[in-house]
């Protein structure tokens, strides 16, 4: 197993000499095996290891015991131990998410925080070939395209995640651990058949393996790898094609569009579109819809294809999430209907720096105020953030259902929905304007909301401060 994992890591170029790798260890067989194999390979790879464990507050004393087990494992091998936690059931209830989705989002947010705090260059997770097979099969059952068939990627560069065991089976993992008498923990929820993935793992895959194809797991993993390579190829092709074929704009009487910054209309040349190969045409229409925040199903692509190949004047197709497609003399126009709710947005915000937000028709800027109480005296302290407590880069987005915020000088955190009630705001805003209301996160925590004091615990008393400023196109 050591040699096969080393080949996989080098073949996928997952690690570079000198990198610090935080190994995500839950205590289960897969993650314990990942830690042990990387310990064996660290001299060959030239990497520095630490252990990261996230407590989800789901399984009570059983989860507490998992955390102690992982901490002792880190101590046994004299590795730095990082520990994080969150109340996943409460977060799932507040945001109306499944337990699995809430757990993944909170866990990944903590992983991102580890990287931002320079406690690791990458996070290694213990997804195996079996996890890949389960994921692909689940997506086939739910309906998917090439991108969905690609399953779990060996590396997620934006999240700094790597998966060194993606070419290793769960059976190989357990054989490896047993060969060295290494214990592991068992998560009782893995056998709860109310979860769809567990039914696939314990019922459907074994049935397919026994009755149809003994190599079903490896075949599904191979399918994922081929789909990933194909998806990577077409992503690169689309990146070159889209700027030439799609532009923002608004329709004019001439039948051609007038372009403009921040437009909620995407325009495609009808003649070019009609002469393209079907696959390219479908991908371009899907990518155009995604520019407006909408993902189309196959039936929607079919309806649009029929419209392109058999155009009828003044035809309009209503699509999901407020997307509307109209055909003009020369163009196909994708736009969000006026009665549709605004699309969510999310942007990175450097310190210092600025970002233009077309959704707000304005700019949000971060400015660093020099150290010293005297120099801070000319500013409203309630609007200044302590720079030493912030991540190197912030995130600006619109607030979402379930968000909570703890304004400085208040008694407790509150739901953002409550803070934005009309009775609390200085003037009247439409529901659409309130939906787009900006918040700023640092390492996953909301630290600023327009019109409110900065977050409790992030207000500055002295030292370097960060001021958030907004300017609009009208100002």
Number of domains in the chain: 3
Instruction: Answer with the one of 336, 360, 386 that is the final residue of a domain.
Output: 336
Any domain includes 240: no
Query: Is the full-model pTM beyond 0.75?
Result: no
| pLDDT of residue 292 exceeding 70 | yes
Tell me: the pLDDT tens digits for 448-463?
A: 998 888 998 888 877 7
Instruction: Answer with the one of 163, 197, 231 that is the final residue of a domain.
Output: 231
pLDDT of residue 255: 43
CA distance readout (Å), 230 to 192, 237, 302, 315: 35, 11, 22, 34
| pLDDT of residue 48 exceeding 90 | yes
| pLDDT of residue 314 exceeding 80 | no
Positive or negative torsion for Cα 245, 251, 255, 259 = negative
Residues 15 and 161 in one domain: yes
pLDDT of residue 237: 87
Residues 218 and 106 in one domain: yes
The C-alpha atoms of residue 27 and residue 75 are separated, in whole angstroms, by 14
Instruction: Answer with the one of 336, 361, 391 that is the final residue of a domain.
Output: 336
Mean pLDDT of 214-229: 95
The C-alpha atoms of residue 298 and residue 148 are separated, in whole angstroms, by 13
Any domain includes 363: yes
Residue 423 — very low, low, confident or very high, per pLDDT cuts 50/70/90?
A: low
| pLDDT of residue 318 exceeding 50 | yes
CA distance readout (Å), 313 to 278, 324, 332, 433: 22, 15, 11, 34
pLDDT of residue 100: 78
Query: Degrees (nearest 5) of the Cα angle 443, 449, 453?
Result: 105
- pLDDT more than 90, % of the chain: 41
Q: Is 298 left (phi over 0), alpha (psi -120 to 50) or beta?
A: alpha
Q: Are 450 and 437 in contact (CB under 8 A)?
A: yes
Nearest CA to 345 out of 401, 404, 396, 415 is that of 396
Residues paired with 388 in a beta bridge: none
Q: What value does the mean pLDDT of the chain take? A: 85
pLDDT of residue 320: 77
Residues 222 and 279 in one domain: no
Residues 109 and 162 in one domain: yes
Q: Which long-range contacts (CB under 8 A, 24 or more apart) does 314-322 make?
A: 319/289, 319/294, 320/294, 320/295, 320/296, 321/293, 321/294, 322/294
- Between 253 and 309, the higher pLDDT residue: 309
Tell me: the pLDDT tens digits for 93-108?
A: 776 667 777 888 889 8
- DSSP E strands: which ranges in 322-407? 323-327, 331-336, 346-350, 353-357, 362-369, 384-386, 393-398, 404-405
Tell me: the pLDDT tens digits for 352-401?
A: 888 877 777 778 889 888 755 445 555 666 678 999 899 888 999 989 87
Whole domain around residue 120: which residue ranges? 2-231
Residue 429 — very low, low, confident or very high, per pLDDT cuts 50/70/90?
A: confident
């Amino acid at each position: 197993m050591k040699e096969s994992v080393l080949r996989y890591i080098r073949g996928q170029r997952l690690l570079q000499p000198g990198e610090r790798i935080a190994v995500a260890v839950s205590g289960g067989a897969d993650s314990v095996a990942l830690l042990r194999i990387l310990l064996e390979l660290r001299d060959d790879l030239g990497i520095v290891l630490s252990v990261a464990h996230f407590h989800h507050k789901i399984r009570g004393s059983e989860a507490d015991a998992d955390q102690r087990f992982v901490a002792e494992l880190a101590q046994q091998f004299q590795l730095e131990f990082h520990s994080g936690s969150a109340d996943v059931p409460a977060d799932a209830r507040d945001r109306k998410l499944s337990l699995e989705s809430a757990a993944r989002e909170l866990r990944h947010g903590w992983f991102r925080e580890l990287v931002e705090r320079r406690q690791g260059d990458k996070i290694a997770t213990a997804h195996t070939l079996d996890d890949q097979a389960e994921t692909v099969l689940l997506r086939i059952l739910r309906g998917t395209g090439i991108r969905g068939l690609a399953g779990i990627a060996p590396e997620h560069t934006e999240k700094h995640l790597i998966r060194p065991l993606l070419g290793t089976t769960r059976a190989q993992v357990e054989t490896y651990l047993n060969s060295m008498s290494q214990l592991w923990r068992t998560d009782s929820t893995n056998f709860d058949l109310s979860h769809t993935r567990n039914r696939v793992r314990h019922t459907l895959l074994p049935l397919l393996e026994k009755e149809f194809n003994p190599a079903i797991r490896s075949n599904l993993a191979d399918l994922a790898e081929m789909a990933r390579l194909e998806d990577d190829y077409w992503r690169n092709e689309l990146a070159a094609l889209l700027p030439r074929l799609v532009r923002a704009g608004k329709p004019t009487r001439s039948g051609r569009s007038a372009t403009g910054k921040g437009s909620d209309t995407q325009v495609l040349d009808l003649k070019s579109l009609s002469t393209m190969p079907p696959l390219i045409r479908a991908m371009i229409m899907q990518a155009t819809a995604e520019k407006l925040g909408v993902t189309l199903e196959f039936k929607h692509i079919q309806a649009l294809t029929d419209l392109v190949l058999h155009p009828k004047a003044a035809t309009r197709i209503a699509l999901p999430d407020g997307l509307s497609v109209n055909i003009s003399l020369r163009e196909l126009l994708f736009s969000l209907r006026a009665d549709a709710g605004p699309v969510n947005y999310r942007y990175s915000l450097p310190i210092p720096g600025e970002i233009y937000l077309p959704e707000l028709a304005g700019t949000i800027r971060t400015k660093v105020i020099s150290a010293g109480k005297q120099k801070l005296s000319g500013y409203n302290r309630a609007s200044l953030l302590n720079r030493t407590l912030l991540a190197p880069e912030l995130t600006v987005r619109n607030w979402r259902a379930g968000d909570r915020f703890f304004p400085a000088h208040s008694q407790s955190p509150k739901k953002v929905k409550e803070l934005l009630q009309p009775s609390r705001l200085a003037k009247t805003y439409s529901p659409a304007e309130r939906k787009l209301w900006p918040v700023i996160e640092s390492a996953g925590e909301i630290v600023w909301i327009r019109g409110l004091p900065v977050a409790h615990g992030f207000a500055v008393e002295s030292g370097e401060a960060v001021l958030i400023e907004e300017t609009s196109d009208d100002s």
